[in-house]
Amino acid sequence: MANGKNTEYPEKKFPVPLLTKMALLTATAVVFSFIPGFPIIPAVGFIRYEFADLPVLIGVFAFGTLPGAGVAAASVFISYLVGAEGGGPWGALMHLIAIGTYALTAGAIYHFNKTRRGAIIGMIAGTAAMTLVMIPANLVITPIYTRAPVEAVKSLLLPGIIPVNAAKGLITAALTFVIYKRVSGYLH
């Protein structure tokens, strides 16, 4: 200490209100992860709609891309720890890849055009990016945790995996579009 001040650990200004709101969205996502998701196409019932993605996307639009990605990572990790993330560690990894891609893409586009139109374009692009990224993710990771041959996973791409991921993104976009304005006042 020099002159009565702690020089080893200088005072840092943490954005406590932002961290608190991010924690609330993370907790909401974890609670939502206990709501059973529903399969969109029965042939690929292992891919389910996750309500926990809503708070993540709301966080992206309310606070920015990196805080939203932080909510995604924290909520998936905590959900996995408390047993609410289906598919064990591989399912958690797949969920993180999916929602992380969606959130980063939608948030990056919205960052440059903070309008309703920018949000819609961001969510459509996020849906497309997630759908595309989940093709190789499913080809690499799904055979590991389901023990299905890669050829079996390939055969499910067009009739199941691709449309399910696209539908998941569009459902999340529609719900976010309806909910965001109602909750954004509380977040700001």
Tell me the angle at which helices 116-146 and 162-187 cross, rounded to the nearest 10 degrees: 130
**pLDDT at position 12, please?**
53
* Structure confidence at residue 13 (pLDDT): 57
pLDDT at 127: 98
Of 40-49, 100-109, 128-137, minimum mean pLDDT range? 40-49
- Kind and range of the H or E element at 49? strand 48-49
Ordered domains of the chain (ranges, CATH):
16-187 (1.10.1760.20)
Of the candidates 26, 124, 38, the residue with the CA atom closest to the CA atom of residue 80: 26
pLDDT of 9 over the 70 cut: no
Q: Are 33 and 50 in contact (CB under 8 A)?
A: yes
What is the amino acid identity at position 106? A
CA angle 93, 47, 91 (to 5 degrees): 20
d(CA 17, CA 29): 18
What is the Cα–Cα distance from 172 to 37, expressed in whole angstroms? 12
Residue 6 has pLDDT above 80, yes or no: no
Cα gap 187→184, rounded to integer Å: 5
| pLDDT score recorded for residue 38 | 83
* pLDDT at residue 47 tops 80: no
Dig out the tokens for 14 from the structure. 């943490």
Q: Which residues lie across from 48 on neighbouring strands?
A: 39
> Quick check: 187 and 176 in contact, CB under 8 A?
no
Question: Band of the pLDDT at 14, cuts 50, 70, 90?
Answer: low
pLDDT at 123: 97
* Residue type (1 letter), 49: Y
26-35, 39-48, 56-65, 97-106 — which is least confidently predicted?
A: 39-48
Mean pLDDT to the nearest integer, 16-44:
89
Burial classification of residue 161, based on how many CB atoms lie within 10 Å of its CB (0-12 exposed, 13-18 middle, 19 or more buried): buried
pLDDT value of position 1? 44
Residue 7 has pLDDT above 50, yes or no: no
For residue 20, what pLDDT is reported?
A: 92
